[in-house]
Amino acid sequence: MTAQTAITARTETSPPIRWSEPSLPAKLDALLEENRSFTDLPVVGPVSAAHLREYVASCQPPMPAREQIERMIGRIAVMMPSPKLTDKEAAERLSLYGRALSVHALPDLHAAFDVIVRTCRFFPTVAEIEAIIAPIKGRRTRREGTARMILLKHEREWSEPQENLTADEAQLLGSILADPMGKNEGASA
């Protein structure tokens, strides 16, 4: 039994972790998709800021366990043509891939391996896998960065709305709007 076969034959002790990005209200979600600079971002109120704080707090996906990476690599190795390796070479290759890919989040690896299964004809190198992961990770990290910038802008610039008019000013404005030309004042004189 080769190392690759042993990995795929191993029984799973826990189901694979499937993580998804936290959800946001539609307007905030659309705002995170826009490519705006800090100065172009709107100042959000406290309700939207609370949604964004919750989003940022739960936006960090889980990191993979070594066994999960080995299981993914093993499955790919069985499916795709790869060079014939001795057990020692296969174990070293598996260790190398495990070390190199352990810096990526588990959902990014799952998405990358889904792409590999659909597009690669041969066993991918670490560089090829990282090239596939880059846009997947990029979108998530860009959205998180934008959420953090909006929160920063909220903390710096948002203030409680103030009453613009005093009661006397409101009464005066009401009378002006009721009779804009002041005809009633002249008619009564």
| Per-residue model confidence as pLDDT tens digits over 82-108 | 778 888 988 898 899 999 999 999 999
Distance CA 65, CA 71 (A): 10
CA angle 183, 185, 187 (to 5 degrees): 65
pLDDT digits (tens, 9 = 90+) for 25-38: 999 999 999 989 99
Asked, for residue 113, whether it belongs to a domain, the answer is: yes
pLDDT digits (tens, 9 = 90+) for 133-159: 999 999 889 999 999 999 999 999 988
Asked, for residue 164, whether it belongs to a domain, the answer is: no
Asked, for residue 175, whether it belongs to a domain, the answer is: no
Asked, for residue 11, whether it belongs to a domain, the answer is: yes
Asked, for residue 109, whether it belongs to a domain, the answer is: yes
Q: 45: helix, coil or strand?
A: coil
- Kindly state the percentage of the chain with pLDDT values over 90: 54
Model pTM above 0.75? no
Domain tally for the chain?
Answer: 1
Could you count the other beta carbons within 10 Å of the beta carbon of residue 27? 11
Distance CA 90, CA 79 (A): 15
Asked, for residue 162, whether it belongs to a domain, the answer is: no
Number of helices followed by number of strands (H, E) in the chain = 9, 0
Distance CA 179, CA 158 (A): 37
> What is the domain extent for residue 67?
3-157
Burial class (CB in 10 A: 0-12, 13-18, 19+), 104: buried
Asked, for residue 176, whether it belongs to a domain, the answer is: no
Torsion (CA) 116, 114, 131, 77 in degrees, nearest 10: -40
